[in-house]
Amino acid sequence: MRNLPLSGVRVLDFAHMMQGPWAAEMLADLGADVIKVEVVGTGERGRQSGTTFLDGISAQFLAMNRNKRSLAVDLKTEAGVRVAEALLATADVLIQNFRPGVMERLGLGWERVRELNPRLVYCTASGYGSDVPDPRKPGQDLLAQARTGTLWLTGTADDMPTPCGPFVADVHAATMLALGATAALLEREHTGRGRLVEVDLVGAMLHQTVQEVVAAVNSGEPPRRSTVPGSAYIEAPYGVHATVDGYVAVSLATMEALADGLGAPDLLERFPDKEAATAGRDELNALVAGLVATRATRDVLDALDAAGVWCAPVNDHQSMTTDPYVRWDRRRLEVEHPVAGTVELVGNPITLDGQTLPARRPAPLLGEHTVELLVELGLDVDELLADGVVEVPADGRAGR
């Protein structure tokens, strides 16, 4: 696809793990030239993250770092900082999620960088933001879920506080960071100046649970989780129910439709309206569970769907790929990685003029583009390599 919206925008990705790198990948998908600025030797921490590795390459790293180039540089040296400053002079956006004070000690904090490049949009991702008792306290997705009440929204009434499966705080924080960066770039067209954009995990988690938080703080009533996995704030039978060969997810439905779909007219007599379904949520869930437990998933879905009940099968990741409403063939991207081989990735959900955003390159090897970028900047490649200031892949894939 030609002429992507952010073509010509250069982003420096100083971030690690998920929140910052994924925000940078979102910008890269939209056409930005994203340069991962990584520490020599090990690279950013995401290269070692997770439990699944493909020929030694972290699957999590592969998932969040496509469409980027990698420059490995020792920022603890004066020469390394000069390399970073040369990059900054060419950049439009910087993304970082180090603990407070790290970038300042490197001479790359907001105040210093805005002097070097007043047009730069400087994006900082953190766990808690700056106005907390100890800004250096470790922040992470699970901890953000725990502090914001989110663990009381997942699972059933009998479960202990339960984390969401995906890293939802990181996901939303990354999305908000990318949104903030693009908004600041748009504003810069009018003002000529950059901005400091800040997003933290706690704020993102609260923003993501806006319905539940507003309900709880204004009513004074804590969430009451259902007897089936679902929502603390929606009446039965909303949630997941077991069948004889799997599970079905039942979403929104009138009681008339539910009774019709399950062939149980007595449900409508017992629960004639939403108020009755809300007050008797536990009883209604138990009745629905009993009605579907002896039936096949496909039979239940067909009957509910015909009656107008919103429902879906509960897929695992393998069955997801064949679900005609998921359309995995349209959601997936495929790249050839020099070490991991052929890798399937999840595509960006944005389409432009009916076309999906392309995977222009796989996640980079550490320092894969060091030489290429130094040449672009007009710096002395041989001297920087000889002094150990920068690094290239040992197998020579960086090229000269």
pLDDT (0 to 100) of residue 234 = 87
Domains of the chain: 10-208+328-391 (3.40.50.10540), 239-314 (3.30.1540.10)
In the predicted model, what is the mean pLDDT of the chain?
95
Residue 398 pLDDT more than 80?
no
For residue 394, name the pLDDT band (cuts at 50, 70, 90). Answer: confident
Tell me: the pLDDT tens digits for 258-269? 999 999 999 999
Q: What is the mean pLDDT of residues 179-207?
A: 98
pLDDT (0 to 100) of residue 396 = 62
Q: What is the mean pLDDT of residues 60-67?
A: 98
Q: Which residue has the higher pLDDT, 397 or 109?
A: 109
pLDDT (0 to 100) of residue 220 = 95
Tell me: the pLDDT tens digits for 144-186? 999 999 999 999 999 999 999 999 999 999 999 999 999 999 9
The residues assigned a catalytic role are: 170
For residue 245, name the pLDDT band (cuts at 50, 70, 90). Answer: very high
Q: What is the mean pLDDT of residues 342-349?
A: 98
Q: What is the mean pLDDT of residues 66-70?
A: 98
Residue 399 pLDDT more than 90?
no
For residue 76, name the pLDDT band (cuts at 50, 70, 90). Answer: very high
Encode the chain in three state secondary structure: CCCCCCCCCEEEECCCCCHHHHHHHHHHHCCCEEEEEECCCCCCHHHHCCCCEECCEEHHHHHHCCCEEEEEECCCCHHHHHHHHHHHCCCCEEEECCCCCHHHHCCCCHHHHHHHCCCCEEEEEECCCCCCCCCCCCCCHHHHHHHCCHHHCCCCCCCCCCCCCCCHHHHHHHHHHHHHHHHHHHHHHHHCCCCEEEEEHHHHHHHHCHHHHHHHHHHCCCCCCCCCCCCCCCCCCCEEEECCCCEEEECCCCHHHHHHHCCCHHHHHHCCCHHHHHHCHHHHHHHHHHHHCCCCHHHHHHHHHHHCCCEEECCCHHHHCCCCCCCHHHHEEEEEECCCEEEEEECCCCEECCEECCCCCCCCCCCCCHHHHHHHHCCCHHHHHHCCCEECCCCCCCCC
Tell me: the pLDDT tens digits for 111-134? 999 999 999 999 999 999 988 999
